[in-house]
Amino acid sequence: MTHGALGPLIPLSLEQISAVRPHTIRSWKYPITYEIAPDVDVDLLGLALAAVVNRHEPLRLRLIADRSAPGQRIAPPVDTFPIAQLDDGPSTLADFFAESFDLAADGPLRAALVRRPGGRSRLLLAVHHLAWDGMSSAPFTHDLWAAYRNLRACGESRLPVPQISYSDHVLAQRAAGPRLTPTQAAYWEEVFAGWRLPDFEPPPSASPVEWSRRITGSVPDPAIAGRVRMLARAVRVTPPVVWLASALVALWGTDQSGRGSHVSVYWVHHGRDRAELRDLVGFFNRSVPLRLAMDPGERFDRFCARVLGQVQAAVRESRAPWSIQRLAAHLSGPKAPGQRRERMSRITVNIQLDDSAEGTGPAGDLAAFVSYDPPSEQAWTPRLGQLWLQLTLGPAPTSFAEYDQRYFPDSTVGACLNGMPAIVAAVLDGGAGRSVSELAGCVPEPVDSGAGALGVPLPAPPSAYATPNGSAV
């Protein structure tokens, strides 16, 4: 049961606007799976979920699809949250997570319970990505099981009121103004002198599911996480920067067009730039463009330091009122006579910490986070003309690539994905003084499929695509 009407119309956040796409608005989701103890009370669990949904406004958003001014309203609090009961079967999880969302009518969160042999059950939560990012897992898990324990002990959830509401955060973003600040404009003009960003709106076509691919990489050394932490301390950077630097070298080394003088990617920043945002659930990610000159003789440790410097500057100069659309508009002005405009790549690197175990103290023996990888045929996030490389850092790092096969050949993407751990392993074994050019040679040689070089557009594809069965998506 809900209380009252929808809240006032507020804009989408700058991060939501940058991420929302017509071809992903119904399918862009995040799977969460817990294995729960046999004695967990499902009714209390529904009350605990309600308490979490009430605390975190993005989990109650309703999308207002107005072409002139798209926005969102926050639904009123709920008394309890429905949990569907599902039979355990070979396709139960895949079917549950494959179901689309209607954010205009329903909320961005669905829950189901699957009874399994031995008395234990699986709690399945599908959440739309406009209300969630990778760093939402820790506060959500903490709040859910803290609320459950409190409800069981005293009948109240006792979750604290957030220091700032998501609505106030969004309105503060818009109050910063509609254009880049002079400092931001000067910084990005220097970084992208003579370059332009790719088009951000996909062609007016159906989602190209048949061209979307997802492959998983391998990190063969189980002890690599600890060794990378030691390496990062030695070269005075963070472990994610070590991996990002290795990704940049791998991308540069995989470039079949001859290893250009620069490498450019988008770096996914968690966006929680203020302390009061760090225990909130929501979509705060922003993709920050990076462009680095490549010196073949540069030592890897010095390259890491340069990568860290650009990441820090790019993060600092990409806060509100900055957005990727506003940057693109700012850089799209008339070019000077004789100026050459190069287009930045459509490659995104997302390196995130595995926080599934963080903040889970209240879960204790009640629940354990279980990772879920979708079947290869479930293309949740078609990457139109893009390559998305993701590495999750934890006790055993994992990686995957999602990409548009029309623009990025399978063999080259695989070589790049597996090149990251190969480069890191080479640095760990041979020292951080090895040159960038030497490390690029560690990237597995792709088997040319005739599809073109990494990031180089293939011949223009048709303007519309259908699913393999011929129906539009």
CA dist list (Å): 196 to 281, 324, 341, 423, 454: 33, 12, 6, 30, 18
Q: What is the distance in angstroms between the CA of the first residue and the CA of the last residue of the chain?
A: 33
Say if residue 101's pLDDT is above 80. Answer: yes
User: Could you give the residue ranges of the DSSP H alpha helices within 73-223?
Assistant: 92-98, 137-154, 166-175, 182-191
44 vs 28: CA distance, rounded Å: 29
Please give the pLDDT value at position 116: 85
Query: Using N-to-C axis directions, what is the helix angle for 42-55 and 137-154, rounded to 10°?
Result: 130
Please give the pLDDT value at position 394: 74
342 vs 263: CA distance, rounded Å: 12
Beta bridge partners of 367: 36
Mean of per-residue pLDDT scores for the chain = 83
- Tokens 């599934």 found at: 356
Q: Which candidate, 371, 472, 399, 404, places its Cα nearest to that of 30?
A: 371
Q: Which two tokens stand for residue 302?
A: 């010095």
Please give the pLDDT value at position 451: 44
CA dist list (Å): 17 to 51, 65, 210, 252: 28, 12, 26, 30
Query: What's the whole-number mean pLDDT along residues 102-106?
Result: 90
Q: What is the pTM of this model?
A: 0.87
Q: Which two tokens stand for residue 323?
A: 């957005």
256 vs 454: CA distance, rounded Å: 7
Please give the pLDDT value at position 199: 60
Say if residue 464's pLDDT is above 60. Answer: no
Q: What is the pLDDT of residues 61-93, one digit of tens each?
A: 999 877 667 799 999 999 999 999 999 988 899
Kindly provide the b/e burial profile for residues 218-235, where b requires at least 16 CB atoms within 10 angstroms of the residue's own CB: ebeeeebbebbeebbeeb
Three-state helix/strand/coil letters over the chain? CECCCCCCCEECCHHHHHHCCCCCCCCCEEEEEEEECCCCCHHHHHHHHHHHHHHCHHHHEEEECCCCCCEEEECCCECCCCCEEECCCCCHHHHHHHCCCCCCCCCCEEEEEEECCCCCEEEEEEEEHHHCCHHHHHHHHHHHHHHHHHHHHHCCCCCCCCCCCHHHHHHHHHHCCCCCCHHHHHHHHHHCCCEECCCCCCCCCCCCHHHEEEEECCCCCCCHHHHHHHHHHHHCCCHHHHHHHHHHHHHHHHCCCCCCCEEEEEEEECCCCCHHHCCCCCCCCEEEEEEEECCCCCEHHHHHHHHHHHHHHHHHCCCCCCCHHHHHHHHCCCCCCCCCCEECCCEEEEEEECCCCCCCHHHCCCEEECCCCCCCCCCCCCCCCCEEEEEEECCCCEEEEEEECCCCCHHHHHHHHHHHHHHHHHHHHHCCCCEHHHHHCCCCCCCCCCCCCCCCCCCCCCCCCCCCCCCCC
Instruction: Supply the DSSP symbol for 117.
Output: T
- What are the backbone dihedrals phi and psi of residue 131, each rounded to the nearest 5 degrees, phi first? -115, 10
DSSP-based three-state secondary structure for 343: strand
387 vs 349: CA distance, rounded Å: 9
Cβ contact 208:384 at 8 Å: yes
Domains in the chain, please, with CATH?
A: 10-171 (3.30.559.10), 183-354+376-440 (3.30.559.30)
Please give the pLDDT value at position 340: 60
Say if residue 448's pLDDT is above 60. Answer: no
Q: Which candidate, 353, 290, 323, places its Cα nearest to that of 18?
A: 323
Cβ contact 145:51 at 8 Å: no
269 vs 275: CA distance, rounded Å: 15
Query: What's the whole-number mean pLDDT along residues 337-359?
Result: 70
Cβ contact 244:307 at 8 Å: yes
Cβ contact 33:93 at 8 Å: yes
Q: How far is CA 341 from the centre of its chain?
A: 29
Query: What's the whole-number mean pLDDT along residues 326-351?
Result: 77
- 299 vs 226, residue with greater confidence: 299
- Residue 356: which pLDDT band, with cuts at 50, 70 and 90? low
Q: How far is CA 195 from the centre of its chain?
A: 25
Query: What's the whole-number mean pLDDT along residues 283-287?
Result: 94
Query: What's the whole-number mean pLDDT along residues 300-321?
Result: 96
303 vs 301: CA distance, rounded Å: 5
Lowest mean pLDDT among 27-36, 44-53, 123-132, 155-164: 27-36
Q: What is the pLDDT of residues 10-62, one digit of tens each?
A: 999 999 988 887 767 877 888 999 999 998 999 999 999 999 999 999 999 99
